[in-house]
Amino acid sequence: MEKEIKKSDYSAKDIQILEGLEPVRKRPAMYIGSTGPEGVHHLLVEIVGNATDEALAGFANKIQVTLFSEKKVSVEDNGRGIPVDIHEKTKKSALETIITYLHSGAKFGGNVYKVSGGLHGVGLSVVCALSKYLKARVKRDGKIYEQEYSQGKVLGPLKVVGKTSETGTIILFEPDPEIFKEIKFDKKKIINYLREQAFLSKKINYAFIDKTSKEEKKINFYFENGLVSYLKYLIRGQKMIHENIFYVCQKVDQIFVEAAFCYTDEFEPYEESFANNINTKEGGYHLTGFRSALTKSFNEWARKKEMIKKEEDALTRDDLKEGLNALVAVRISNPEFEGQTKAKLGNPEAKSAVEKAVLPAILEFFERYPQDAKAILEKCFLAQKARKAAKAAKDAIVRKSVLTGLTLPGKLADCITKNPEEAELFIVEGESAGGSCKLARDRRFQAILPLRGKILNVERARIDKILSSKEIKVLVLALGGGIGEDFDIERLRYHKIIIAVDADVDGNHIKTLLLTLFWRYFRPVIEKGYLYIAHPPLYRLQIGKEIKYLFSEEEKEKELKSLKNKNFSLQRYKGLGEMNPEQLWETTMDPKNRILIRVTVEDAKEADKIFDILMGDEVSPRKKFIQNWAKTVKNLDI
């Protein structure tokens, strides 16, 4: 047995003092969120953020990211260049001080940078601490200075390596494999991030140079119209229901406020918020202020035009969301972010500043464009009508559940366990497949829900119509957590929900319809990683008494080539119903052997866009999508 530790054993010798950047290397996730792929990209975001702060302060107009390999990247700006004179307290150069000391920099006093994202003063020093190699090159005072670092420590003295008439800073770094298990800079992520920054920083040029192949590639981003350009980019392929985009840009109480919105004929809302060019993915007071201004101004205008006659007819936040696409950005001198990864803005003063800027601007916009106001408000009141009808439909489902003693739908063959962590729900296509799956399953933990035909395309339907669909109503009752904004993941009856459809055109269509339904109305199921797609075999190959199951065309071709002159039989499974229960259990339902594909969403914006293209009303974007990807299609049934 280990020796019992007594209270008296705790003394001064047990206290660790971590010097320099050791705390960062000891607990990297505290500073960058994670040590996975997101953490690797967060290092780059910190450096680009510093360059952006220099640009927003008016000292730079060009920022360039160069990817040399999957593991090495540089960020260059044409700003003033990090100072290199000796720092009074550290007796080292300002450059070395900024790079090797936590909470050092020019962003605390408020004189050099009125607005910045890196107020913690840890950005560049954290990148240095978590890099296998970092080189800083500074152009200022007619000279080029250079210094190298590794794992938070200086490798050599600051050197003058040349002369120049330019100014600026170049930071080249390579993340440390001792910290990050997987190091790979994703070009698409970098490009998307730089595009976003260019939208948020009017008239600043952002460039991406790819030197990972023989042929160097360069992409430039430059936008004159800021958030309006960004909004147009986000709604590409959608149809606006009014002519003009709302935009306001104003300084209120020392806070710079910028906001833009428009309405499309879609149902899903899309909102993004930013503080000092940082994407506040969890919102904050600035987004709350925008929403409040929207609700108050819309109701004020509607009352003025006598569209609201009784107080119960006033528009709510829910009525305003349908088809709304909105962007809100603030620049604030002392942002209070929640956590080092800055996902939420916590400054209460941002709410009143945004509200003061946006509310009167919307009323002025409605005065200037009354036809736009009419189109927008008509859509909101239509959404209100649908919301009230949906509430009645939801209440009816709840009442039915209560009156029948929470009876589950008759189509559902439920499992014995009541523990959601153990329970699995197979959503299968048709009665035939449902019957086979019921015979094949393990009743202890596997439930089967057969759906008849193709469910409603929810991309183009309001919630009241969706709840009138018999198949969707059955699914809602089976899952047990409600639907849409009322969905409660804690009440979900199964933590593995498996879509099992036939490997043909109809099956793929049903799968897409179900994925659209889950994405739009049961999104937490996907975010929690509870949604899966079954991967049944395409072929059954028998050679004598030996039986093999083949899951792809490539696997089939490889096997057939190896058989040569042998006698064999090959059966193509067109549907789950063609397999007998033993085969179905062995290949598709047995946890020991089956293949399940977990449904994940890395980029919500892109997922939204793909569902809009594939399932929306507009034919042109879908046609373009098919033309672009037609050559990559495999296993298309005709």
Residue 161: burial class (beta carbons within 10 Å; 0-12, 13-18, 19+): exposed
Distance CA 172, CA 170 (A): 6
- Partnered with residue 275 across adjacent β-strands are 278, 330
Token code pair at residue 520: 């739009």
Is residue 504 part of the annotated active site? The answer reads: yes
Q: Walk across the sheet containing 531-534 and list its strands.
A: 446-451, 424-429, 496-500, 531-534, 596-598
Token code pair at residue 447: 């439930």
> Is the Cβ–Cβ distance between 113 and 123 less than 8 Å?
no
In 3D space, the residue among 599, 322, 313, 610 whose CA is nearest the CA of residue 461 turns out to be 322
CA angle 259, 191, 526 (to 5 degrees): 75
Distance CA 246, CA 298 (A): 13
Q: Which of 148, 210, 504, 559 is catalytic?
A: 504
Distance CA 321, CA 314 (A): 14
Token code pair at residue 507: 């099956």
Is residue 372 part of the annotated active site? The answer reads: no
Q: Walk across the sheet containing 324-331 and list its strands.
A: 246-252, 255-263, 324-331, 270-275, 278-279
Q: Residue 105 gets which letter from DSSP?
A: S
> Is the Cβ–Cβ distance between 529 and 518 less than 8 Å?
no
> Is the Cβ–Cβ distance between 573 and 637 less than 8 Å?
no
Is residue 502 part of the annotated active site? The answer reads: yes
Distance CA 619, CA 59 (A): 46
Q: What is the 3-state secondary structure (H, E, C) of 447-460?
A: EEEEECCCCCCHHH
Token code pair at residue 120: 């913690």
CA atoms within 13 A on the CB side of 5: 4
Residues in the chain: 638
CA distances from 69 to 72, 119, 214, 400, 546 (A): 5, 30, 12, 60, 47
In 3D space, the residue among 611, 630, 614, 610 whose CA is nearest the CA of residue 622 turns out to be 614
Token code pair at residue 532: 């899966």
Q: Which of 38, 210, 422, 506 is catalytic?
A: 506
Torsion of CA 611, 614, 617, 622, to 10 degrees: 130
Tell how strand 153-154 and strand 217-221 pair up. Answer: unpaired
DSSP per residue, 264-278: BS-SS-EEEEEETTE
Tokens 């119209």 sit on residue: 225
The sign of the torsion formed by the CA atoms of 516, 469, 500, 637 equals: negative
In 3D space, the residue among 517, 548, 514 whose CA is nearest the CA of residue 534 turns out to be 514
Q: Which of 53, 54, 429, 586 is catalytic?
A: 429
Token code pair at residue 422: 């153990």
Question: Where on the phi/psi map is residue 62: left (φ > 0), alpha (ψ -120 to 50), or beta?
Answer: beta
Which residues form the catalytic set?
Answer: 429, 502, 504, 506
